[in-house]
């Protein structure tokens, strides 16, 4: 599985690339705004050019459009590609799979992806929350699809009334128990005909935790997309996105994601274990006692 770093901060990209484990960079307008404000870049253009340069050839950099109608998105995508792809030939354009904000235009993302495919511009269908969206984006010709695993987990927990922090691990077993307990309590108070339970909205929501079209976790979302793509030999790559916990990164790897895009803070946590720290400390103490530094002296 490839690892992309999910950031627009130049300092973080520079550091992560230096670790030798980064295969690409994903950005979005929110990340770019935060990076510009923190790092004081002289202009947004210059900042994005430096992101592309730091990533280098062979490491895709996802840059997102701003509009939500197909014509404007296509024009913006071509401008971004023309301006920044020459830096290191690594630009991929992020297109919302459904750019509608409730006023029509649901299929504009698909139309834009198809137009950019014809133009030879690689795309990343973003804000994917269901396997159905991923399938349609792939059919339209997306180079990548980005299922937002963390946001799906947030949606499910919020709908079930479960308090959580942004970087908490989504414990599927525990969430399922909460849903089962709520369902049991609801049915215990049920006064209607049992046949009427089939159409009851609250029961449906609790049987499908969070009411997310049968997707019960972000990792399951990734797993379902992997299964569909492999069944039909779809070449579109799957970027597991919005990952907030090291264990979640492992789980999407087990699920078969092609890529995980991860904040640098989560990558750091992937290296942590108390027994690792204990071992390093013990080896260092013994090295001092053994005067181990003698091994590193060159005797000519």
Active site residues: 94
Q: Please name the residues in contact with 256: beta carbons below 8 A apart, sequence gap of 6 or more.
A: 222, 223, 226, 230, 238
Q: Please, is 253 exposed, middle or buried when counting C-beta atoms within 10 Å of its C-beta (0-12, 13-18, 19+)?
A: middle
The answer to whether 81 touches 115, Cβ cutoff 8 Å, is no
In this structure, the chain runs to a length of 300
Instruction: Please tell me the distance from the alpha carbon of residue 246 to that of residue 287, in angstroms, as a whole number.
Output: 31
């Amino acid at each position: 599985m490839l690892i992309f770093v999910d950031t627009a901060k130049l300092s973080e990209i520079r550091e992560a690339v230096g670790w030798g484990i980064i295969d690409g960079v994903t950005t979005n307008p929110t990340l770019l705004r935060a990076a510009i404000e923190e790092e004081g870049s002289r202009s947004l253009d210059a900042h994005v050019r430096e992101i592309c340069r730091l990533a280098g050839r062979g490491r895709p950099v996802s840059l997102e459009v701003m509009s939500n109608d197909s014509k404007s998105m296509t024009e913006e995508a071509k401008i971004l590609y023309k301006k920044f792809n020459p830096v290191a030939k690594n630009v991929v354009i992020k297109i919302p799979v459904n750019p509608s904000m409730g006023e029509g235009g649901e299929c504009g993302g698909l139309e834009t992806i198809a137009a950019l495919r014809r133009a030879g511009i690689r795309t990343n269908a973003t804000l994917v929350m269901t396997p159905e969206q991923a399938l349609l984006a792939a059919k339209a010709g997306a180079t990548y699809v980005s299922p937002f695993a963390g946001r799906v987990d947030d949606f499910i927990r919020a709908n079930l009334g479960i308090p959580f922090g942004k970087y908490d691990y989504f414990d599927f077993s525990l969430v399922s128990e909460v849903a089962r307990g709520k369902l049991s309590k609801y049915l215990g108070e049920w006064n209607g005909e049992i046949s009427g339970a089939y159409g009851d909205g609250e029961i449906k929501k609790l049987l499908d935790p969070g009411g997310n079209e049968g997707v019960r976790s972000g990792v399951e979302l990734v797993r379902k997309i992997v299964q569909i793509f492999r069944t039909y030999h779809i070449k579109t790559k799957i970027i597991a996105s919005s990952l907030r916990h090291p264990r979640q990164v492992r789980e999407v790897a087990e699920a078969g994601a092609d890529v995980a895009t991860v904040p640098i803070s989560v990558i750091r946590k992937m290296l942590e274990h108390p027994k690792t720290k204990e071992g390093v400390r013990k080896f260092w103490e013994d090295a001092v006692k053994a005067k181990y530094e003698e091994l590193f002296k060159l005797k000519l």
